[in-house]
Structure formats: C-alpha cells, structure tokens
C-alpha cells in the first residue's frame, strides 16, 4: 500500500544489508563560559545590584538606626552569600537549558535583592518596631522574621505557581510585571536622574545607543562601563561629588565573614504574629513576581522551569534570614533586556561573585562615595523601558487593554506610597477616613491625623488609590485576566476570575490592609456582582449559539426535503 492509499504491485524483497555500524556517541555541545555580550550584561546587572545594595545600606543606617558594624560585618556578608549562591545557581540553570536545547544564546535569569521588599521591610516592618521600642536590634530581629516567612511562602508557591501560570493569560502576567517595572523600577531612578540631568542624560543616551542599536564603541569597550565612566567623570568634574566622603568611607572597609544569626531570627519569630498580616500577601507577591519574570523570559525565548526558580528564591530568603539579612532576594525583572544586551549564561554569576566580594570587604561605603548615583540609575530606566515594551509586543493587539489595566494597580500603589511618605515627612502618621474627623496637627513632629475630607477637598484620591494598590501584583493579575477573557468572549472564565477576586478581597490578600476575615466585603461584593454579569452574558451567548445551531439544522432539513422532491420529479419525468 502506498502513501496515497492506492494499490500497487508488490515490491521486491529487500536485499540483505551489511550490519550497521554503531552510531557515533554524541559529544556534549561546546558551550563557552564567557562571551563579549556577557561583559556588557555583567556591567549593567552589576551596577543595578550595586545601586540596590547601596540603597538598602543607607536604609538600615539612616532609617532604622542600625550600627555600621552590624551592617557591614553581618547584614552585607549575609546578603553576599544569598547573591553568590543564587547567581551561580541561575548560571547552572542557564547552561543546563542551553545543553538540553542545543543552543548557545540562552540567557541566565538576573538575581538580586528584591527592590520593593527593601522599602517594605524597612518602612512597614523595621521602622515601626524601632519607633515603638527605640531599639534598632529589635527592629532588625523583626525584619529577619518577616524575611524568613516570605521565604517559606515562596517555597510553598513553588508548587502552586506553575498551575497559576497555566491558567492566567499572558497579557495579565506581563501587564502586572510592566506595572511593577513602570512604578517601582522606573519612576524612582527617573526622579533621581532628573535631580542631576546634566550627569544622567548623557549616561542614558550612551546606554540606549549601545543596547538598542548594533553600534560598537572603539575597542569594544562595554557600554555599561563606558556609560558609568562618562557619568562619573562628569559628576566629579562638575563638583557633584564630595572628596571628603571618600576619606571617611575608607574607615568602613573591613572584612566581614557570614555567620549564623539564629538567636536574632528566633527572637524575631517569637513576635511574628503582627508581621503575618504583611508577610503573607507579600510572600504571595514574591512568588507571583517570580512567575511573571519566568513568563517574560519564555517570551524572550528561554523557557525556564518555574518551580526551580521559585525554590531558589524561597531558599535564598530563608538562608539569608538565618545569616542576618532582612532583605529577601528575587529573580529580577529584566531578562529580555540583558538578553538584548548580549548576556548569555555567565554574566549573572560574574555579578554574584563581584557583589559578594564587595559585601564581604565592606566596600559599599567607598563605592557610594566614588560613584555618582545619577550615573548608575539610568540602567534601571533602560530595564523599565524593555519590560514595558515587551508587555505590549508579546501579546495579541486585541489584549492591549488588558495589559494597561494590569499596570494600573502598581501605579496606584506607588502613588499612594509617595503620598504617605509626604504626610509622614511633615509629621502626619494617620489618615482618618471618617468624614467628620478634624485635622489634628502634628505635635513634636509626629502624631498628626489627616481626615480624608481634607485630602478630598484638595483633589487627592487617597483612599481609592490605597484600596486599588493593596496587593497590587495580584490585583493586576486578576483584572488583566478578566479583561482578556471579556475581550475573547470567554465569559465563564472571566466569571471565575471575578470569583477569585471576591475571595481574595474578602480575606484581605487584595484591597485589604491586612489578612483576616471580611477585610473588604464591599470589594468582594463588587467582584461578585461583576461575576454575575459575566455569567449572564455566558448564558446569553449559549442561547444564541443554540438558536443559531437550531436554525442551521432546520434549514438543512428543508433543503434535504426539497432535494428529495426534486429527485422524485426527475424520476417521474
């Protein structure tokens, strides 16, 4: 029988053949450890992580009041271990993926301290503890316990995340990631840049030309290094930097060896109850962000195992807390950017080694005195541009509205946070949402109460932004998924996500200040009512489809009868 299914003459029996030689064993693919693109990506990611470590160092010393000895000899060495082990592990995952798929263009996932969590653990966990106890070590203990719980939740999420990723549309995943990128990765660096635009703008232009075009610098100088050198030269020549700061920073250089800090961690865990209200939703935030970053890498061509990524992030947070770091690590936003810059499997490992060495040696104070911040932060804005662009480029055009609505909750969270910081800076600690509250001015620089009515009269939508921004990553996923399914007329799936939004609102994981029972019943009702609307449209579509099928069937029967009559008339004739 031939391939076409028609009969043919029987073929002659096959002639005896020589015994086949054994197939040659396939040698493993030769995968270089370093490439020119790795150098570019290494400088970019290293400067990114350096900025974040400099910021968290300043937060611990300037906000929490922790002594420089504890910061440089315990916290930073612990962070160095997190980043070294994590980045080496991600290099291993990248090389394993490259060999499995037989290609050399795989890019490792970037890794570093989680930027949103740096500010959350400082201002939401450690600072209130410090203000109530006047003890920076007690505040440090609470931060360690909080980071430990974050890590445990991410480890649990490693077994839940793959299913959430499978059921959530790409526009929702990438849209909420773009929201994080716009609000928390781009806005602060942009503000820092425009405080000294004469330094930052030339740096940004060099980065954009180097990473968005194929132009090379003379001698193949890495773009990131060239941009930093130019910005640093402008800053020093223009008088932006203080030479005296360099001398004082030299005194902080000292070798710090990571040691276990179980006594601090266990002391913090003994008072963990009040911390769970933020640790649980932010742990979910962490594994959700990791999930969206894996989706972003998949769109760029590198399909990583989500469970392996989340297990690494959760383990890093747990180990870091045991060693004394209250800052959970995370796989970073920006894989497509480093891939576009030429990064392959080892740039991330290089960053981990260099940053760990700087953490162990206490060099971050000196780096902060040598490098102008406006010369470093433009790389973060570049990453923000890449992630925002990818969210629109990698989804169907019809889903662009879903990307936009997924962005909005993170922007709301950022805006409300800025308002809260301003109120706190002038001594107002509380916003009273009772309409008849009176304005209580601050006494001694703290304790003032701002009624919501005063903000409303000034045109400030504080309460709405606060509600929308609580649990922003999850809110973005829920709203983005609902809009995708509405656009695709899959109303039953939209209703399912409305039900999820109602449940999450009711327990406070979204739109709530803390986790509990009936944390935001009104928002839960809103999602339920929206779900009922979706269910109504679902059954409407089913009735219309059934009616159309019935009409088609009736037309077919009439046609058959007419054809039969015509055949009978022809036979009679």
The tally of CA atoms less than 13 A away on the side-chain side of residue 139 is 25
User: Is 567 within a domain?
Assistant: no
Say whether both 89 and 219 belong to one domain. yes
Residue at which a domain ends, from 392, 422, 455: 392
Pair 45, 354: CB distance under 8 Å: no
Q: What backbone phi and psi angles, to 5 degrees, belong to 429?
A: -95, -20
**310 and 456 together in one domain:** no
Count other C-beta atoms under 10 Å from residue 165's C-beta. Answer: 17
| pLDDT of 27 | 55
User: What mean pLDDT comes out for the span 436-446?
Assistant: 63
Same domain assignment for residues 494 and 518: yes
pLDDT at 434: 67
Averaged pLDDT for residues 339-346: 88
232: CB partners within 8 A, 6+ apart? 370, 371, 372, 375
**Token couple for 345:** 């499997």
Kindly state whether residues 117 and 79 are assigned to the same domain.
yes
Q: What are phi and psi of 332, to 5 degrees?
A: -85, 150
Of 159, 45, 56, 153, the C-alpha closest to 91 is: 45
Which range in 140-149, 184-193, 327-336, 441-450 is most confidently predicted, on average pLDDT? Answer: 140-149
Residue 250 CB neighbour total at 10 angstroms: 12
**What is d(CA 188, CA 199) in angstroms, rounded to the nearest whole number?**
16
pLDDT digits (tens, 9 = 90+) for 366-425: 887 888 888 888 877 887 787 788 788 878 899 999 999 999 998 998 898 888 888 877
Same domain for 237 and 98? yes
Nearest to 47 by CA among 384, 371, 387, 389: 371
The tokens for 555 are: 């037309």
Give me 327's structure tokens: 């800052």
Q: Residue 434 domain-assigned?
A: yes
% of the chain with per-residue pLDDT over 70 = 86
Q: Is residue 11 part of a domain?
A: no
The span from the CA of 541 to the CA of 549, in Å, is 12
Is 259 domain-assigned?
Answer: yes
Instruction: Indicate if 378 and 481 belong to the same structural domain.
Output: no
Q: Is the model's pTM score more than 0.85? A: no
Question: Rounded to whole angstroms, how far apart are CA atoms 62 and 155?
Answer: 32
**Higher model confidence: residue 180 or residue 339?**
339
Whether 269 is covered by a domain: the verdict is yes
Helix (H, G, I), strand (E, B), or coil: what is residue 430?
Answer: strand
Residue 536 belongs to a domain: yes
Q: What is the pLDDT of residues 82-125, one digit of tens each?
A: 999 999 999 999 999 999 998 989 999 999 888 767 877 887 68
Range of the domain at 101: 36-392
Query: Is residue 271 located within the same domain as residue 323?
Result: yes
* Closest-CA residue to 169 (of 425, 497, 449): 497
Alpha-helical runs (H) found in 300-324: 306-323
If asked whether residues 361 and 419 sit together in one domain, one would say no
- 235 lies in the same domain as 381: yes
Report whether 203 contacts 432 (CB < 8 A).
no
pLDDT tops 70 at residue 281:
no
Domain assignment present for residue 565? The answer is no
Considering 329, 364, 392, which residue would you say is the last residue of a domain?
392
Asked if 131 and 227 sit in the same domain, the reply is yes
Q: For residue 329, which phi and psi values (nearest 5 degrees)? A: -85, 165
Report the range of poorest mean pLDDT among 54-58, 113-117, 275-279, 520-524. 275-279
Task: Establish if 570 belongs to a structural domain.
Answer: no
Question: Mean pLDDT, the chain, as a whole number?
Answer: 82
Is there a single domain that holds both residue 483 and residue 386?
Answer: no
SS3 330: strand
413-422, long-range: CB < 8 A, 24+ apart: 413/183, 413/465, 413/468, 413/469, 413/470, 413/472, 414/183, 414/184, 414/187, 414/469, 415/465, 415/469, 416/462, 416/465, 416/466, 416/469, 417/119, 417/469, 419/460, 419/462, 419/465
Q: Which residues, other chains included, contact 146 with Cβ-Cβ below 8 Å and sequence gap of 6+?
A: 121, 125, 268, 272, 275, 278, 279, 326
pLDDT of 21 higher than 60 = no
Q: How many domains are contained in the chain?
A: 2
Residue 288 has pLDDT above 80, yes or no: no
Same domain, 64 and 175: yes
Q: C-alpha dihedral over 116, 118, 122, 123, to 10 degrees?
A: -20
Give first-to-last CA distance, the chain, whole Å: 45
């Amino acid at each position: 029988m031939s391939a076409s299914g028609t009969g043919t003459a029987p073929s002659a029996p096959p002639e005896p053949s020589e015994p086949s030689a054994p197939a040659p064993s396939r040698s493993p693919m030769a995968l270089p450890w370093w490439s020119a693109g790795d150098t570019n990506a290494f400088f970019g990611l290293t400067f990114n992580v350096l900025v974040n470590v400099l910021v968290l160092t300043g937060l611990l010393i300037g906000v929490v009041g922790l002594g420089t000895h504890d910061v440089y000899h315990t916290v930073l060495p612990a962070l160095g271990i997190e980043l070294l082990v994590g980045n080496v592990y991600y290099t291993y995952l990248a090389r394993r993926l490259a060999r499995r798929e037989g290609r050399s263009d795989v890019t490792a996932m970037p890794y570093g301290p989680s930027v949103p969590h740096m500010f959350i653990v400082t201002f939401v966990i450690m600072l209130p503890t410090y203000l109530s106890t006047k003890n920076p070590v007690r505040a440090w203990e609470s931060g360690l316990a909080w980071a430990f719980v974050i890590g445990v939740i991410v480890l649990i999420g490693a077994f839940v995340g793959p299913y959430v990723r499978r059921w959530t549309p790409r526009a929702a995943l990438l849209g909420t990631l773009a929201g994080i990128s716009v609000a928390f990765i781009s806005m602060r660096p942009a503000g820092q840049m425009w405080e000294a635009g004469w330094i930052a703008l030339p740096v940004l232009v060099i980065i954009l030309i180097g990473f968005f075009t194929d132009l090379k610098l003379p001698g193949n100088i890495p773009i990131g290094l060239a941009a930093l050198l130019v910005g640093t030269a402008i800053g020093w020549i223009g008088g932006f930097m203080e030479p005296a700061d360099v001398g004082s920073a030299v005194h902080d250089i000292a070798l710090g060896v990571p040691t276990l800090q179980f006594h601090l961690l266990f002391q913090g865990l003994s008072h963990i109850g009040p911390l769970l209200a933020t640790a649980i939703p932010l742990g979910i935030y962490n594994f959700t962000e990791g999930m969206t970053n894996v989706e972003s890498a998949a769109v760029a061509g590198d399909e990583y195992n989500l469970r392996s990524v989340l297990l690494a992030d959760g383990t890093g947070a747990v180990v870091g807390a045991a060693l004394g770091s209250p800052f959970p690590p995370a796989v970073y936003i920006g894989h497509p950017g480093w891939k576009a810059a030429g990064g392959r499997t080892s740039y991330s490992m290089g960053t981990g080694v260099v940053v760990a060495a700087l953490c162990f040696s206490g060099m971050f104070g000196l780096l902060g005195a040598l490098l102008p911040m406006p010369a470093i932060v433009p790389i973060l804005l570049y990453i923000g541009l890449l992630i925002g662009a990818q969210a629109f480029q990698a989804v169907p055009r019809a889903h662009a509205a879903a990307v936009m609505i997924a962005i909005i909750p993170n922007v709301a969270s950022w805006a409300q946070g800025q308002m809260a910081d301003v109120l706190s800076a002038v001594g107002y600690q509380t916003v009273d949402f009772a309409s008849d509250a009176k304005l209580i001015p601050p006494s001694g620089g703290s304790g003032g109460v701002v009624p919501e009515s005063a903000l409303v009269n000034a045109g400030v939508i504080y309460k709405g932004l606060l509600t929308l921004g609580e649990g922003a990553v999850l809110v973005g996923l829920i709203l983005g998924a609902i809009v995708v399914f509405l656009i695709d007329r899959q109303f039953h799936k939209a209703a399912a996500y409305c039900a999820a939004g109602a449940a999450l609102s009711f327990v406070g994981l979204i739109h709530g200040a803390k986790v509990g029972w009936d944390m935001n019943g009104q928002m839960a009702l809103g999602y339920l009512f929206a779900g009922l609307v979706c269910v109504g449209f679902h059954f409407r579509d089913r009735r219309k489809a059934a009616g159309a099928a019935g009409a088609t069937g009736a037309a077919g029967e009439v046609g058959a009868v007419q054809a039969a009559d015509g055949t009978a008339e022809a036979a009679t004739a």
